[in-house]
């Protein structure tokens, strides 16, 4: 088993639905979660008639031999070194800083920094531990690397299926040049090349909504990296490999996790955010489930599970909820 990293570079706009925003076409976010990616891969393999590969993929996931992260942003820095970002952890730390009196001007500056910090969604991988250390010290962390994902737009479409043409609106996002999304996958060593081929095929079809309009198509920025081999290639791959392996004081999930029944107590003891996961499969509305969002932190790694939501065309419809984690020493 090895950790693989694949960088996705998008060829045009994307529309990633977000149920927290209402889920309409006029609303969209930048996030693409592990459970949605798993469903996209299964749909792609079924559409290509690769039923043997689909069965192998699902069975490996059921056995816990395939672990997928959410898609997270990266940007290419000087010299094309990738800067990798992860979500800011959902943690509350009691700081060990003694109370000090501040002048009015100092209080204003501190308040502005706190407001800015609350809006921070992502932190560079190599800055994640210093970020946590600063919280422990009661300091506001000033990141050396920030990322601007891109631009948003809304287009007007016309629905001509009814008796009268009706307008509707579609929101799309366009990534900045040099900015894309990456995925971390823990796979059997002999499955890495096959998974890369699956992603290449998926890139031609696209991910997210409005694919028939050309949204969501991508290509791989380069061949997938085996993190063990690329350990000392870049600052962030070194930090990422260290956080993915070994024992740590706390673990932040980087996938959407659906805890098993015997993991609920451990989940309740953590610091987490819930996300409603719902949607359609071939036009059929599927049951909604609530999952632990990436960025949630726990004292141990929760394995998670896959749940069967029913059948479609004689095949089970799975909701992927396996856990993948990075360690934090906080």
Instruction: Say if residue 296's pLDDT is above 80.
Output: yes
- What pLDDT does 71 receive? 96
- What pLDDT does 197 receive? 92
- What pLDDT does 19 receive? 65
Length of the chain counted residue by residue: 330
Residue found by looking up tokens 């043409």 in the block: 165
- Please, what is the end-to-end C-alpha distance for the chain in angstroms? 27
Residue found by looking up tokens 């999952």 in the block: 291
What mean pLDDT is predicted for residues 64-86?
89
Residue 135 tokens read as 């919280």
Cα–Cα distances in Å, from 302 out to 1, 27, 59, 63, 194? 18, 32, 20, 15, 27
Instruction: Say if residue 94's pLDDT is above 70.
Output: no
More confidently predicted of 133 and 279: 133
Q: Distance between CA atoms of 292 and 308, rounded to whole angstroms?
A: 18
What residues contact residue 131 under an 8 Å CB cut-off, 6+ apart? Answer: 88, 123, 141, 143
Average pLDDT, the chain: 83
- What pLDDT does 135 receive? 76
- What sections of the chain are H helices per DSSP? 34-47, 51-62, 104-118, 128-136, 192-205, 235-244, 264-268
Specify the pTM. 0.85
Residue 38 in contact with residue 296, Cβ under 8 Å? no
Q: Distance between CA atoms of 128 and 96, rounded to whole angstroms?
A: 19
How confident is the model over 98-141, as pLDDT tens digits?
555 556 665 555 455 555 555 668 999 999 888 888 877 767 77
Q: What is the 3-state secondary structure (H, E, C) of 15-35?
A: CECCHHHCCCCCCCECCECHH
More confidently predicted of 313 and 123: 123
Burial class of residue 43 in the structure, from the number of CB atoms within 10 Å of its CB (0-12 exposed, 13-18 middle, 19+ buried): middle
- What pLDDT does 96 receive? 53
- pLDDT band at 227, cuts 50/70/90? confident
Strand partners, 219: 9
- What pLDDT does 74 receive? 94
> Residue 243, CB half-sphere, CA atoms under 13 Å: how many?
26
What mean pLDDT is predicted for residues 226-251?
88
Q: Distance between CA atoms of 143 and 136, rounded to whole angstroms?
A: 16
How confident is the model over 248-276, as pLDDT tens digits?
889 999 999 999 999 999 999 999 899 88
What mean pLDDT is predicted for residues 213-242?
87
Q: Distance between CA atoms of 244 and 164, rounded to whole angstroms?
A: 55
- What pLDDT does 95 receive? 54
How confident is the model over 131-174, as pLDDT tens digits?
888 877 767 777 778 888 988 888 777 777 767 777 777 788 89
What is the set of domains in the chain, with CATH numbers?
Answer: 2-81+147-247 (3.30.70)
């Amino acid at each position: 088993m090895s950790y693989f990293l694949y960088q996705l570079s998008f060829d045009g706009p994307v529309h990633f639905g977000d149920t927290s925003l209402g889920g309409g076409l006029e609303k969209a976010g930048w996030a693409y979660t592990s459970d949605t990616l798993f469903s996209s891969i299964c749909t792609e393999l079924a559409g290509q008639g690769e039923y043997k590969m689909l069965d192998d993929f699902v069975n490996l996931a059921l056995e816990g031999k395939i672990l997928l992260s959410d898609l997270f942003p990266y940007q290419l820095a000087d010299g094309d070194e990738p800067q990798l970002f992860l979500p800011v952890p959902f943690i509350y730390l009691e700081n060990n800083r003694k109370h000090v009196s501040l002048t009015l001007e100092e209080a204003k500056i501190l308040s502005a920094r706190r407001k800015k910090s609350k809006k921070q969604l992502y932190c560079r991988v190599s800055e994640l531990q210093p970020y946590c250390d600063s919280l422990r010290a009661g300091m506001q962390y000033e990141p050396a690397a920030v990322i601007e994902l891109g631009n948003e737009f809304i287009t007007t479409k016309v629905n001509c299926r009814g008796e009268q043409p009706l307008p509707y609106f579609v929101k799309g996002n366009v990534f900045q040049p040099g900015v894309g999304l990456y995925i971390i996958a823990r796979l059997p060593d002999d499955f890495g090349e096959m998974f890369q081929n699956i992603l290449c095929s998926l890139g031609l079809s696209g991910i997210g909504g409005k694919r028939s309009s050309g949204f969501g198509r991508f290509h791989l920025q380069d061949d997938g990296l085996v993190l063990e081999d690329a350990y000392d290639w870049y600052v962030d791959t070194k930090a990422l490999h260290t956080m993915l392996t070994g024992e740590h004081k706390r673990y932040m999930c980087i996938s959407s996790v659906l805890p098993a029944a015997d993991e609920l107590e451990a989940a309740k003891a953590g610091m987490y955010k819930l996300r409603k996961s719902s949607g359609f499969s071939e036009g059929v509305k599927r049951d909604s489930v609530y999952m632990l969002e990436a960025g949630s932190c726990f004292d141990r790694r929760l394995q998670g599970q896959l749940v069967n939501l029913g059948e479609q065309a004689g095949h089970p419809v799975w909701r992927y909820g396996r856990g993948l984690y990075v360690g934090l020493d906080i």
